[in-house]
Structure 1
Amino acid sequence: MKRSFFFLYFLASAFTALAQADTTQHIIAGRTNSPEQQQKPYVILVSADGFRYDYADKYKAKNLLALRQQGVQAQAMLPSFPSKTFPNHYTLVTGLYPAHHGLINNKFYDGKRHEFYTVGDRSKVEDGSWYGGVPLWVLAEQQQMLTASFFWVGSEAPIKGIHPTYYYTYNEAIPLAKRIQTVENWLRLPEEKRPHLITFYMPEVDHAGHNYGPDAPETERAVQLADSAMQLLTSAVARTGLPVNIVFVSDHGMTQVDTEHTLSLPASIDTSKFILSEGDVTVELFAKNKKDIRPIYRQLKKEALGYKVYLKTNTPRRWHYGAKDDCFGRVGDILLIPEWPKIFHSSPRKPVPGHHGYDPDRVKEMGATFYAWGPAFKKHLVLPPFRNVQVYPLITELLGLEYTHKIDGNKKLVKKVL
């Protein structure tokens, strides 16, 4: 029997995760759908992490190619800057750019708290005070519509004091087939207990893309795995007979980078004067004394080779990532952004070949995927690229949810696709 990369990967990750992960379903007691909400349709928001805009065509994902023909597809969906996982997953469910909702990167420094948020720190991930905006599940629960989450950024934290009614702590120990069965089980609950919004997340394509690059056979197999999962999920949904709309998205794309000629942190940076938030495609400097900003900025501009230097006050407007947008004080005073295909790398280990995080308006491979089908959607519709802040108002429209708070998205996509 052939041992594929995925068999080995899942075997290893399962043993690791089982030793430390919480694999139980969390259920918030005492909630029910209001009679009005019981009449609403259903939405499953699926994310295949790192599923680049062209992967379905590139790797002939037959199920997704057929499903998108039944509804709406975008030529690409543009992630927000930086095109990283946590910022963009949270943008999808809040309709806000990262600097507006607060999760500006997978790791970032908060100057007011004087501490870092990192994706691997459970105490931060599960602390609702780090998260701005009103996620879709919070909006729904506030209006007495039940929700469920089989993973999504923010779903494990009590944002505004609210969790989804049904949710799991993130782990990769639960088999994909069991996750899909759980979704079907949710949809078979009595009407008053049945979630109308379900979020569902798959990490496999991102893992393969990072470790092997977007053109590798391992990545092709990961795309085929996601494709098979969507066939199983749609079949499970069909068995329920419910009016379910499925929105299939990704958070970002993936690109091959130069692993032989990486960038080092500039020697001119005095770490006694600056707090550094380091990443592969963003390095942010926070000055302990604001008087030190201009001198080091001028020095870095002179010596910059393979990267660009920005003050927080002069970042490109299209990023929505600068002084005027920094609602939480988390964007650095100075930003170092490598020019594709360069990356910053400080580890003695050789970097992985696949990366993301670049400006999606300049690096096409950052483009994400958007497909949607179900009774609410038009059929055989192909859209030009649009920004991912538009997904939030689309899903609120599908579910008949009202909102009065300010978001960055609008109803333009809604008018085109429903």
Structure 2
Amino acid sequence: MNKLTYSTALILNILTLLLGQVRAQNERREHINKDRANALKQQKKPYVILISADGFRYDYASKYQTKNLLSFGKSGVVAKSLIPGYPSVTFPNHYSIVTGMYPSHHGLVNNSFLEEKSGERYSMGAFSKVRQGKWYGGTPIWVLAEQQKMLTANMFWVGSEAEIKGIRPTYYFDYTENITVNNRIDIIKNWLSLPEAKRPHLITFYISEPDHTGHIYGPEAPETIEALKKVDTAIYKLTEAIKPLGLPVNYIFVSDHGMTEVDRENPIKTPNEIDTAKYTIASSGTMMVVHAKNKADVSILYNKLKIKNDGYKVYLRDEMPDYLHYRSTDDYMNRIGDILLLPDWPRVFSNRRPGIGHHGFDPILVRDMQATFIAWGPSFKENKQIQSFENIHVYPLLTRILNLIYHEKIDGRDEVLSGILK
């Protein structure tokens, strides 16, 4: 290597290192609205940490004996399961938990979807879209709290990076996987160590496991069991870090959905009847969503698919089962497709061999889609077991604990969970 080439390589290496450091700093950058403070009437209220472990199926804690979560459940409240809205996927259900609304009502109708009116696509992986408030209906719990002069903090939650109704949380991070769980715990402890005027009373804490591992290895795999036990340990570490502060902190541990193993040998290929010159497939997998570019073509394709109907059910948007709350009359933002193809579990739509673990199926027909609810702390009754309930009812529970007032129409009902509080 000559001297010039060596110098150039050295400079490039230094620049790469510096750019990496800048990127890491940006990914860890905390957003703070320094002008806000808790109103005096809010400063003596309880605290809530809302925790989500993505893909933590309803039976994981008992089946795999996650000792800490089982112990917390005995000191608080455990539900038979938490029932997600349809489709049972990540973004719609995280947002349902914090708005009290079904996915079709708050607007996030899937992880990815097409909005015909604007021609735009929303996708959970498109950060520019995720951070635009126009996609999000309802009033997230942190927006409601901030409107009433109660500070909030978000260690990742769907919608928390967007300005919704002109408001973002007082403290929040842009989503990244580069902050370790231990560092996230330290950040939460630091938030709760702030003076009363600056201390958040509502904190959301998102963990991406065991979902990631469950997709790769399946819900029964040793790797997935190890991942959920790490989640269990993280929750214990969180409570131990917060305990010395002596604050009345309530913990609500939830998940967005469960996980199931699918038939990898017999995937359902995209039907040949769907001519992509006339139709747009907005999403696939555990539900195929089809939009017709010319609405006159909807019935033509629908009739062809109904005849074929091989391994899946075909619905027009106004034919979907009522209990799914996913039909034309529920579609508040007009984002549900024209034709919906629902594969018969355990099969999925895929033109190649699919991965092992999936979610998104009807959570009533496929119980593996159901999630976890465990709550403990000074506001909750002890050693109480309750029946399964829909995740939309968590929102009014949060408002009751924090004594927040809401006037907006939601799907959740206060009476469903009011009995679990002291």
Cα displacement (A) at 1:304: 1.1
- The correspondence for 1:30, drawn from 26, 35, 39, is 35
Cα displacement (A) at 1:56: 0.6
The code of the aligned residue for 2:404 comes to L
Cα displacement (A) at 1:39: 1.4
Cα displacement (A) at 1:414: 3.0
CA contact (8 A) 1:397 1:414 kept: no
Q: After the TM superposition, which residues 333-352 of structure 1 pair with which residues of structure 2 at under 5 Å, given as runs?
A: 333-346=338-351, 348=352, 350-352=353-355
Check if 1:267 corresponds to 2:272: yes
| Over 3 Å off, 4+ runs | 15-21
SS in 1 for 2:121: strand
The code of the aligned residue for 1:142 comes to Q
Alignment correspondent of 1:378: 381
TM-score, with normalisation over the residues of structure 1? 0.94
- The correspondence for 2:51, drawn from 46, 69, 84, is 46
Q: Distance in 2 between matches of 1:21 and 1:264?
A: 41
- Going from structure 1 to structure 2, the CA distance change for 1:146 and 1:88 (only over 3 Å counts) comes to same
The code of the aligned residue for 2:389 comes to F
SS in 2 for 1:65: helix
Q: Deviations over 1:86-122 (max 9, x none)?
A: 0000000000000100001110000111111011111
Alignment correspondent of 2:188: 183
SS in 2 for 1:313: coil
CA contact (8 A) 1:17 1:173 kept: no
Q: Distance in 2 between matches of 1:41 and 1:105?
A: 34
- Going from structure 1 to structure 2, the CA distance change for 1:306 and 1:209 (only over 3 Å counts) comes to same
Q: Distance in 2 between matches of 1:55 and 1:218?
A: 13
Alignment correspondent of 1:357: 360
CA contact (8 A) 1:18 1:173 kept: no
SS in 2 for 1:342: coil
Alignment correspondent of 1:312: 317
Q: After the TM superposition, which residues 134-145 of structure 1 pair with which residues of structure 2 at under 5 Å, given as runs?
A: 134-145=139-150
- Largest Rg, 1 or 2: 2
Q: Distance in 2 between matches of 1:177 and 1:296?
A: 52
Cα displacement (A) at 1:23: 1.1
Alignment correspondent of 2:282: 277
Alignment correspondent of 2:118: 113
SS in 1 for 2:404: coil
CA contact (8 A) 1:21 1:173 kept: no
Cα displacement (A) at 1:16: 12
Q: Deviations over 1:314-369 (max 9, x none)?
A: 100011001000011100110011110000113x5x32100000000000100100
Check if 1:398 corresponds to 2:401: yes
Alignment correspondent of 2:300: 295
Q: Distance in 2 between matches of 1:394 and 1:17?
A: 41
Cα displacement (A) at 1:413: 2.6
- The correspondence for 2:248, drawn from 238, 243, 247, is 243
SS in 2 for 1:258: coil
Cα displacement (A) at 1:19: 5.8
Q: Gapped runs of 5+ residues in structure 2?
A: 1-19
The code of the aligned residue for 1:98 comes to P
- The correspondence for 2:204, drawn from 199, 209, 216, is 199
- The correspondence for 1:222, drawn from 207, 227, 232, is 227
Q: Distance in 1 between matches of 2:184 and 2:416?
A: 30
Q: Deviations over 1:128-172 (max 9, x none)?
A: 111000000000000000000000000000111111100000001
The code of the aligned residue for 2:419 comes to K
Q: Distance in 1 between matches of 2:86 and 2:167?
A: 27
SS in 1 for 2:323: helix
Alignment correspondent of 2:5: none
- Going from structure 1 to structure 2, the CA distance change for 1:408 and 1:240 (only over 3 Å counts) comes to same
CA contact (8 A) 2:27 2:178 kept: no
- Going from structure 1 to structure 2, the CA distance change for 1:334 and 1:171 (only over 3 Å counts) comes to same
Q: Distance in 2 between matches of 1:379 and 1:17?
A: 47
Q: Distance in 2 between matches of 1:128 and 1:335?
A: 27
Cα displacement (A) at 1:60: 0.9
SS in 1 for 2:95: helix
- Going from structure 1 to structure 2, the CA distance change for 1:315 and 1:20 (only over 3 Å counts) comes to farther
CA contact (8 A) 1:42 1:245 kept: yes
SS in 2 for 1:204: coil
Range with greater deviation from structure 2 (275-284 or 310-319): 275-284
Check if 1:369 corresponds to 2:372: yes
Cα displacement (A) at 1:278: 2.2
CA contact (8 A) 2:397 2:418 kept: no
- Going from structure 1 to structure 2, the CA distance change for 1:203 and 1:18 (only over 3 Å counts) comes to farther
Q: Distance in 1 between matches of 2:287 and 2:50?
A: 29
- Going from structure 1 to structure 2, the CA distance change for 1:268 and 1:17 (only over 3 Å counts) comes to farther
Q: Gapped runs of 5+ residues in structure 1?
A: 1-14
Q: CA RMSD in A?
A: 1.4
Q: Deviations over 1:263-293 (max 9, x none)?
A: 1111011222212112211111112222111
TM-score, with normalisation over the residues of structure 2? 0.93
